[in-house]
Amino acid sequence: MTGTIVERVAAAVDADRLSRRHEALAAIGGLQPSGLSREAYTEADFEARRLVVSWAEARGYLAFIDPIGNMFFRRADDDRPEPPLVIGSHIDSQPAGGPYDGQFGVLAAWETVEALEDAGAEMRVPLEVAIWANEEGSRFQPTTMGSAVFAGRLPLEEALGSRDTQGRTVGQELSRLRPALSGVADRPLGFPIAAFLEAHIEQGPILERHGTPIGVVTSIQGLRWFTVEVTGSTGHAGTTPVADRRDAFVAATEMAAALRELMDDPGDTVRFTIGRFEVRPNAPNTIPGSVLFTIDFRHPDQEVLRRLGDQVEPICRARAGGCEVVVRETLDAPPTALDPAISRAISQAATALGIAQEEITSGATHDAKYLAMVCPTGMVFVPCRNGISHSVLEHVEPEQMTLGTRVLAGATARLLTDAQR
């Protein structure tokens, strides 16, 4: 073999294998004609994990699972005590999402393992692949649950007690599904990590608009989540005068309108979304007695997050009318700067491979946000069509996945073999 280790590893990335594995993994929970439904802690989630375990076994890697369901993979014969370099992402999806968000990062990490080994890279520290549990947070809140628990930012017991709309807890679902991973060993929560790298789709329109195949992520914007519970009184739709009503739907939608006004931003930087909205009893001829809705609010600037986010509860109270309202903040994640040294390694790998790149801020949150609290962390973005994700229309060209994987593999090789880091 000739060339630098970065070039040799990048050349060992097998685009066909990546494509085949993408299709096999996308079939688990796959929707027709496109899209993916593979929410966290479901049979599909665990079937997808089993497929990754089969790739690991074929390479002589052992699989581990921690108490919140994060999985790790490591060479069976590598028992060096040094903290490992970890690469990976997540495998769960939105209820009607796409097969790239998360899945691409897991595939890129596995392809990196294969390429590093095939290129004969000598690894300065152990290498591990991670699958972070419940990144999406659609079924069980909050989002990025597995990495938050790993980083000690969310108590394990609280996460295990999180309930879906059917009343089932994370703990119950983990106990139920754990036997599906019979060959996987238990590992305690948390361990030192030398560095973490995650490849992901951008989930926004910037790289595509600029025609740039690689984004080197410098920061992740901040995020605050709220749950608002509005309680009024049910009543007969045909007989109850407006003067006697305590209509939870009317109150909740007036709160939503006032919050939208608060979050109005001519620069279009504020991200404000009411994504979940549930009415009870939800019958056409009954006045709604209660509404539960969620708020997802993001901004790159911590001061804006504080100022606008702190007005959510007062505004809901002011618009409650005759209803009662309880506002709970379920997540408060400040903007996160990623590690400049890791970003430099990514950038240098792309440069060495002749692949165009630009620096980018992540609009979406990622497990990398919590990893950045415990180790040097970096992210590689690839463009997705029309910036769409969290949608069955989510799409990434195979060539873009290959380029992103080559840069991840190159950067990992650089970090693993470069004594200067």
Binder to a second copy among 26, 151, 159, 287 (CB under 8 A)?
A: 287
Q: Using the minimum distance from each CB to a second copy, give the nearer residue, 76 or 283.
A: 283
Q: Using the minimum distance from each CB to a second copy, give the nearer residue, 58 or 243.
A: 243
Q: Using the minimum distance from each CB to a second copy, give the nearer residue, 81 or 241.
A: 241
If DSSP states are collapsed to H, E and C, what string results for the chain?
CCCCHHHHHHHHCCHHHHHHHHHHHHCCCECCCCCECCCCCCHHHHHHHHHHHHHHHHCCEEEEECCCCCEEEEECCCCCCCCCEEEEEECCCCCCECCCCCHHHHHHHHHHHHHHHHCCCCCCCCEEEEEECCCCCCCCCCCCHHHHHHCCCCCHHHHHCCECCCCCEHHHHHHHHHHHHCCCEECCCCCCCCEEEEEEECCCCHHHHHCCCEEEEEEECEEEEEEEEEECCCEECCCCCHHHCCCHHHHHHHHHHHHHHHCCCCCCCCEEECCCEEEECCCCCEECCEEEEEEEEEECCHHHHHHHHCCHHHHHHHCCCCCEEEEEEEEEECCEECCHHHHHHHHHHHHHHCCCEEEEEECCCCHHHHHCCCCCEEEEEECCHHHCCCCCCCCCCHHHHHHHHHHHHHHHHHHHHCCCC
Q: Is 236 in the site for a second copy (CB under 8 A)?
A: yes
Q: Is 387 in the site for a second copy (CB under 8 A)?
A: yes
Binder to a second copy among 34, 172, 240, 348 (CB under 8 A)?
A: 240
Residues in region 392-421 near a second copy by CB under 8 A: 392-393
Region near a second copy per CB under 8 A, out of 20-28, 120-128, 337-345, 385-393:
385-393
Centre a 10 Å sphere on the Cβ of residue 320 and count the other Cβ atoms it contains. 20
* Closest separation in Å from C-beta 151 to a second copy: 19
Instruction: Answer yes or no: are the C-beta atoms of 398 and 104 closer than 8 Å.
Output: no
* Closest separation in Å from C-beta 141 to a second copy: 7
Q: Using the minimum distance from each CB to a second copy, give the nearer residue, 14 or 329.
A: 329
Centre a 10 Å sphere on the Cβ of residue 349 and count the other Cβ atoms it contains. 29
Q: Using the minimum distance from each CB to a second copy, give the nearer residue, 163 or 421.
A: 163
Structure tokens that stand for 365 in this block: 């949150």
* Closest separation in Å from C-beta 358 to a second copy: 16
Q: Using the minimum distance from each CB to a second copy, give the nearer residue, 143 or 377.
A: 143
Residues in region 173-232 near a second copy by CB under 8 A: 202-205, 221, 223, 225
Q: Using the minimum distance from each CB to a second copy, give the nearer residue, 179 or 241.
A: 241
**Residues 37-76 vs a second copy: string with x where CB under 8 A?**
----------------------------------------
Q: Using the minimum distance from each CB to a second copy, give the nearer residue, 84 or 97.
A: 97
* Closest separation in Å from C-beta 44 to a second copy: 15
Q: Is 365 in the site for a second copy (CB under 8 A)?
A: yes
Q: Using the minimum distance from each CB to a second copy, give the nearer residue, 95 or 190.
A: 95
Residues in region 89-128 near a second copy by CB under 8 A: 94-97
Residues in region 246-285 near a second copy by CB under 8 A: 247, 249-250, 253-254, 256-257, 260, 265, 268, 271, 273-285
Q: Greatest CA span in the chain, whole angstroms?
A: 83
Instruction: Answer yes or no: are the C-beta atoms of 312 and 273 closer than 8 Å.
Output: no
Backbone torsions φ then ψ of 118, nearest 5 degrees:
-65, -30
| Among 75, 38, 80, 45, CA closest to 57 | 75
Binder to a second copy among 235, 311, 332, 355 (CB under 8 A)?
A: 235
Instruction: Answer yes or no: are the C-beta atoms of 25 and 36 closer than 8 Å.
Output: no
Q: Is 389 in the site for a second copy (CB under 8 A)?
A: yes
Amino acid found at 133: A
Q: Using the minimum distance from each CB to a second copy, give the nearer residue, 14 or 332.
A: 332
Q: Is 234 in the site for a second copy (CB under 8 A)?
A: yes
Q: Using the minimum distance from each CB to a second copy, give the nearer residue, 266 or 354.
A: 266
Binder to a second copy among 81, 167, 238, 354 (CB under 8 A)?
A: 238
Binder to a second copy among 224, 319, 369, 390 (CB under 8 A)?
A: 390
Positions that interact with a second copy (CB under 8 A): 94-97, 136-138, 141, 143, 202-205, 221, 223, 225, 233-244, 247, 249-250, 253-254, 256-257, 260, 265, 268, 271, 273-289, 294, 296, 298, 363-365, 387-393
